[in-house]
Chain A
Amino acid sequence: MTQSEPKEWLLDEENELRIEVEFDVKVKLRLVTGTAEVFGTELGQNVDYEFSGRKIAVFTWHGCKILVWGTCSVEYIANETPMTSYINMHLALEQRRVLATQNNGQGPRVMIVGPNDVGKTSLSKMLLSYALRQNRQPTYVDLDCSEGSITMPGCLTATPLTEMIDVEEGFGSSATSAPTAGSAVMPLAYYYGFPSPKDNVKLYTLLLNRLAHSVNRRLEEDEAARKSGIIIDTNGLIDATGYEIIANCIKAFSVLGHERLYSDMTRLHQKKAGAAPGAPGVAVIKLAKSGGVVERDNAFRRHTQNQKIREYFYGTSKSELAPYSTNIGYHEVEILRVGEGTLAPSSALPIGEDRKVSETQVVKVEPGEHLLHSVLAVSNADRMVESEILETNLAGFVYISEIHESRKKMILLSPCPGKIPKKYWWLGSLKWAED
C-alpha cells in the first residue's frame, strides 16, 4: 500500500492522532519529526509501521509530524487526552518499584477494572510499555477471557515481559520460533472457555486463584520481576458478581489497584478492610476514560477474535508461522468439557439448590461431527483427575479442520510439527472458520 500521496499530520504538544483501520486495509505510518508513541511504545523516526484492522492512537508529548499512507476509516487529532494522569500513574508505580528495590520488597500490583470499552487493555499496554521502557520486567496478567491478548480467547494468562511491546504486533507472538520484531513471550495459560467470568463464576475463581498462586511462586524466585510488579487486565465487570470476582482477585494477587468505579470500590474496600487484614494498602484510583476509546461492536469483537485464532496458527503478516496438519484417531484423545450441558441461571434453580457441583464438573465428550471447526485447548495434564485437570495449564491449541466419521479420524491443525504432546483436550465454545 505505498500510495503516491501520503497524508501529512502535524501534531501539537500532547495531541493524539487517532486512526481506525479496517481489517482488509493496510495503512502505513511514519514519524518524520518529533517524538510519538503508540500505547506507550515509542515510535522510531523515519521507520514505517503498518497497521491493519486496528484502532490506534499516536500520542506525542513534544509535538510531531506524521505521514500516513492508505485510507483509514476514521482519522482525527484530539487535543484532550488523559495521558497526564496515565503517565503520572506510571511514575507513581515506578516510584513504588524503586522503593521495592531499595527495601527488597514487592513491586506494585495494579488491577485495571471498569466496564467494557473504556480502554482497559490499552491502559495496561501503556503501563507495561512504560515499565519496559525503564528496564523493568513487569508481569502481565490477562483475566479478560473474552479477548485473549496473549494466547486465545477463553484463557486466563500470565506473561512475564522483558522486551518492548511491538507497535505493530501488540503483545507479540507467544512461544514462537519465528523472528518476531517484538517480544517473544512465554505465557502461562489456563483454560476457562467462556466469554464472560459470569458464565461460570466458580471455575473462573478457581482458575484465578491457581493463576495467582503460580505467578506468586514465580515472582518469589524472580527478583527483577517481583520488583517490577504486576499489571492485571480484566473483563468489563460492573455488577455484583463482578465485584465479587474483583474482590477475589485483589485477595489472590494482593493488588495495589486503581479503578474507574471509584466510589463503589472504595465502599467495598472499606468493608473489606476489616475482613481481610492480609491485603494491605489497597489504593483505589479513578482514571478518566480516553476520548479516543471507541465502542467496539460485536462484529468487531468477533473479527478480532477470529484474527487472534488465525494469528495463533499462521502468525501475522510480519512474522508468518507455519502450522502443521495431522490426523488423529478418535481413540487417541479424550475430549473434555466443563459443566453439564448448558447451565441454567441460578435464579431458575429451586430455592436452596446449589449448582456448584455441575459448574466444575468435567464431562467427557465423544468425538464426532460436532467438533468440526472447533478450536480445542490442549491441556498439559497427563492424568484425568477431576480436581487436578481443571487447574492444569495449557500446552496450546488445535483446530479441527475435518472430521471423518466413518474412519473415526479427525484432521487437525497443530501449531507445530510432531505429535500433539498431550491427550486431554478441552472443548469450549470457540469456533473458527478457516478462510
Chain B
Amino acid sequence: MYQQYHPQPHHQPHGGQPAGGQPNRDAVTQQMYRTELATLSFNSKPIITSLTIAAGDNVSSARVIVQTIEERLRTAPPMQKLPTLYLIDSIIKNVGGPYLNLFGHSIVSLFLDAYTVVDSSARASFEKVLGTWPNWNSQLFPREAIAKIEHGVQSIRQQQKQQQYQPPSSMHINPHYSDRPRENNQNYGPGHMLETIVKTTQLTPDNANMIRQQLAQLWAPPPAPLALPGFPPGGSSPMPPNMMMAPLPQHLQQPPVLPPNLTSAPMSGSPMPPPPLHFPGGVPPPHFPAHLQPPGSVPSPQAMLPGLPSSLPILPGGNVPIPRVSMAMPPVPPAATVPISAAPPAPAAASDLFASLMQSGLLGPNGSLTSQLLQNTANMGRASQSPRMGAAAVATPPMPLSNGTPLDRTGQNEQDQNVMSLGMIDLTSQDIQRRRPTAIQVMYGTPPLQCNQCGYRCPKSADAQKKMDAHLDWHFRQNRRMKDKAKKSHSRSWLVTEEDWIHSRESDLGQGQQPVFFDFGAGVSKTSKDELALQEEIAALREHLMSQSSLTESLCGSNNNNSSSEVEAVTDAALTKGCSVCKEKFIKVWNDTEDEWFFKNMRVVDKMIYHATCYADLVRSNQRQAALAAAAATVAVTAAAEAAAAVANITTASDMDTSLQSDNEPATSFSLKEAKAEHVTDQEMDSELPSSLKRKLELDQQEQEQQVAKKTILAEDA
C-alpha cells in the first residue's frame, strides 16, 4: 500500500506564494485544507497527492497545515489514521522544506499515539512507513526521533503481547521492504495492496466499486518484455469524480491519447470509473496494446455531452460517474460477471450493455427509466459523427442513475403512492384520531415478503427479493458472529468527533468504528459476499499475473528467479489460496513460545503449501495407487512424490534455489519458521537419506502429526 507514495519528481510544487495578509490567509488555507482532509477517509492516492500538492503550494502556511494534519491524525477514527500518516509521509518526502521541521517537533508522539490505537494490519503499514524514514535519500527526521519511535513501537508491541491482545502481525513486514527495488513485485504489488485493503477495511459500495475498477485495470496484460509504442510512461490517474474534491494538477490530467480504434475495445460491464491506479514509484503503468484496452475504459463524462469536440482526448481507463449506490441497495455484483467480449458498433453496443447491465442487476428492470436512457443514448449516438463518440454514448447509462437509485425509487414510489392514497392527513388532533381501515394495509403490505427470523418486511418493490436476500445474508453473518463471540471479545468504541459525525454517513461511521483488533482469520466470515467476491478476483488476478510473469521470465530465458517473491507468494498463497489439496484456508495462530505467527498445520513441500494432514493423506493415497501397480517400494515413493507435485500444479516450473531462498528469507521476514524449517529439512533429507527410508520416516511423523492435530481439534471443539 505504501509504495505508492514514492516521490515523483514531477509532483514538485509549482511556484512560491505571494506574501501578505498572512493570518487571514492562514485561516482560509486551514479551512480549505481541513475540508479536503476530511475526504481522506480511506487510502486514496489522488486525495493524498492533491493534499500533498496543496501543502507544497502553501508552504507559507505550513504551520497551520501541519497543525490541521496533526489534528486530523489525532482525532480520526482508528481506521482512518493510516491514510493521514501516508499524507504526512508524502508531504515530508515530496515537499520537505519547513514541513520536516514542523512535523519533526511532534512526530514521535503523533506516530506512537496513532500506532497505539490502530489495528494490527494498519500497524504493519505504520511500521512499513517508519521503515522507510531512516534510509531516505535525505534526512527526514533526526535520527533520535526515529529511534524513539522505533523504540516506542517495540514497547507497544511487547506490551500488547503481554496483555494477550492480538499483537501486531509481523507477517510480510520488513522494515526495509519498501526500499528494495520494486521491479520484482510490480506484478502483484497492486493486487496485494488491493487485497490488503479489501481484507482490512470495511468497504462502502463506492469503495468496493473503485477497487473493482482498479482490478479491472490490472487484468490488462502485464508489461510485455518489449515496450510497446503508444503510451508514454508516467502515471495517469483519472479521478473518480465524486471522490476527488480538489482539481488535479495539470500533469495528472493529461492522459495519453488512445489509439483511435477504441470501439473495438472489449467493454467491461462495469460502468464505474477506474479508481486512481497506483503504480510503484518509477514503474510505468502497463502498456496497453490498442486492441487490448483495459476493460472499463470508457470516456470521461464530458465526452458524452453532444456538442463537444469529438477530438476530445480519451483517458485510458477514463472517467465514468459512479452511480451513487444507496445504502439500501444490495451489493453490486462484481464487474467481471458482465463482460462483453467485443463491443459492436455504438448504438447496438449501448443496448447490449443495457441488456447485460440489467441482467446483472446493475440497472434493474426499471423499464421507464431504462427506455428513456436508451433513447438518450441513441440520440447521442446519432448526434455524434465519429465512432468514438458512439462509444462515448455507451458510457452514458450510469449518468442519470447517479442522482439516486432507481431501484429504490420504484419501491419507494409504490410505497409513497400507498401512503398518499389515504388522502392527506391533517395535522390536527381530530384528523389524527380518525380511523382509517386502509392505514394498516400500508404498514403491512399486500403480499408480504417477510423475513422469518426477525419479522422484517420488505417493502413491495421490483427488487424486494434481492433486498430480502441481502437481509437474510446479513442475518447469517450476524448469527455467525454471534456464535463466534465466545472466542472474540467485542467492545464499545469511542465516539467520533462532531465534525466527523456531521460529515460521515451512517454506513461508514459504523464501519469506521470497527474493532481495534482486526481478526485476520475472521476476515472471511465477517466480510460481505461482495468483498469475498473481490478477494477471489484478487486471488485470481494474482495467479494470472504470476503465471504471466513466469511465462515472461521463461521466454526471456531469465535465470534471476526472484525467490523473495516466491517466498512471499507462498505466504500470500497461504492467506488466499489455502491448502493445495483441500483448498481450505489456513488458520493463523499465535505461538507464545516462538513469539511469532504460524499457520496452523501448514507444511511447505516443493513450493506448494499443504495442510500437514492433507499432505500425508495425499502421499498415502498416491502410495497406495503405486503399490497396486505392484511397483517396488522405492519406485512407489518416487511416484508419489511426483504425483504430489503434479496434483498441485503451480505455473512456474523453475526449481527453487535453496541457497538463494535461505538468503532471502530472513530479509522478507518470512516468519513461518515451522514451515520453513520443514521445507529445508525436506531438501536436506532428499539429498542425504535413501528416499524410501526418508519417506517412511516422514510418513510416520506425519501420522503422528495427524493424530496430534486431530486431538487438538477435538480438544478445541470440546
Measuring CB to CB, which residues of chain A are less than 8 angstroms from any residue of chain B? 31, 35, 41-47, 61-62, 84-85, 87-89, 91-92, 94-95, 98, 101, 130, 133-135, 137, 160-162, 164, 167, 173-181, 184-189, 214, 217-218, 221-222, 224, 256, 258, 262, 283, 285-287, 312-313, 315, 319-324, 378, 380, 382, 392-396, 415-419, 421
Contact = CB atoms under 8 A, between A and B. Distances in A.
21 contacts: A45-B452, A61-B443, A91-B425, A92-B426, A95-B420, A95-B425, A130-B443, A133-B443, A134-B419, A137-B506, A162-B506, A175-B492, A186-B495, A186-B510, A256-B427, A287-B432, A380-B495, A395-B495, A396-B492, A396-B495, A419-B117
Given A88-B439, A186-B501, A218-B503, 12 more contacts: A44-B452, A62-B444, A87-B439, A95-B420, A186-B496, A188-B495, A321-B490, A378-B494, A393-B498, A416-B494, A417-B163, A417-B516
Interface centre among A89, A256, A380 (most CB of B within 10 A): A380
Nearest to A223: B404
Contact of A89 (B432, B455, B506): B432
A134 B481 contact: no
Interface string B378-414: 0000000000000000000000000000001001100
B174 interface: no
B494 A175 contact: yes
B478 A179 contact: yes
A315 B416 CA distance: 38
Contacts of B412: 101, 135
Interface string B459-480: 1000000000000000001100
B687 interface: no
B491 A416 contact: yes
Contact of B432 (A92, A167, A187, A221): A92
Nearest to B404: A223
A394 B496 CA distance: 8
B10 interface: no
Contacts of B440: 61-62, 87
Given A45-B455, A130-B443, A134-B415, A322 B502 contact: no
Contacts of B456: 42, 44, 164
B491 A285 contact: no
Given A134-B415, A258-B427, A416 B492 contact: yes
B440 to A, nearest CB: 5
A47 B493 contact: no
Contact of A417 (B426, B436, B450, B491): B491
A41 B510 contact: no
A95 B478 contact: no
Given A85-B432, A186-B513, A287-B432, A218 B415 contact: no
A43 B493 contact: no
Contacts of B419: 91, 94-95, 98, 134
B427 A283 contact: yes
A214 B501 contact: yes
The 10 closest A-B pairs by CB, nearest first: A179-B481, A178-B490, A44-B455, A322-B489, A177-B515, A92-B425, A283-B427, A415-B492, A42-B455, A186-B509
Contacts of B450: 44
Nearest to B492: A415
Contacts of B328: 135
A135 B116 contact: no
Contacts of B408: 135
B434 A187 contact: no
Contacts of A187: 495
Nearest to B435: A84
B195 to A, nearest CB: 22
Nearest to A415: B492
A99 B424 CA distance: 11
B491 to A, nearest CB: 4
A418 B424 contact: no
A28 to B, nearest CB: 16
A95 B416 CA distance: 8
B455 A47 contact: yes
B564 to A, nearest CB: 34
Contacts, number: 227
B513 A177 contact: yes
Contacts of B431: 88, 92
Nearest to B165: A417
Nearest to A282: B427
Contact of B498 (A87, A214, A323): A214
A95 to B, nearest CB: 6
Contacts of B368: none
A195 to B, nearest CB: 22
B493 A133 contact: no
B494 A393 contact: no
A285 B427 contact: yes
Interface string B506-549: 11011001111100000000000000000000000000000000
Question: In this complex, which of B432, B451, B459 has the most chain A Cβ atoms within 10 angstroms of its Cβ?
Answer: B432
B38 to A, nearest CB: 11
A396 B444 CA distance: 38
Contacts of B558: none
B443 A323 contact: no
B113 interface: yes
Contacts of B428: 283, 285
B180 interface: no
A188 B489 CA distance: 25
Contact of A415 (B71, B422, B459, B493): B493
Contacts of A137: 327, 506
A91 to B, nearest CB: 6
A188 B451 CA distance: 31
B429 interface: yes
Contacts of B503: 218, 221
B165 A43 contact: no
Nearest to B419: A94
A44 B453 contact: yes
Nearest to B504: A186
B70 to A, nearest CB: 10
B434 A88 contact: yes
Nearest to B512: A186
Interface in B188-203: none
A88 B436 contact: yes
Nearest to B456: A164
B27 interface: no
B433 interface: yes
Given A88-B425, A221-B503, A222-B505, A177 B514 contact: yes
A213 B338 CA distance: 46
A47 B451 CA distance: 11
Nearest to B490: A178
B516 A418 contact: yes
A357 to B, nearest CB: 26
Contacts of A224: 326-327
A181 B494 contact: no
Contact of A61 (B424, B444, B489, B492): B444
Contacts of A222: 505
A382 B70 CA distance: 12
A315 to B, nearest CB: 7
Given A174-B495, A177-B493, A224-B326, A134 B432 contact: no
Contacts of A46: 452
A383 to B, nearest CB: 10
A176 B493 contact: yes
A327 B116 CA distance: 16
Which one of B75, B442, B443 has the highest number of Cβ atoms from chain A below 10 Å of its Cβ?
B443
Report which residue of A92, A321, A322 has the largest number of chain B beta carbons within 10 angstroms of its beta carbon.
Answer: A92
A101 B495 contact: no
Contact of A176 (B453, B492, B505): B492
Nearest to A288: B433
Contacts of A62: 440, 444
A317 to B, nearest CB: 11
Given A177-B490, A179-B482, A416-B516, A189 B495 contact: yes
A189, A287, A324, A417, most chain B CB atoms within 10 A: A417
* B434, B506, B507 — most chain A CB neighbours (10 Å): B506
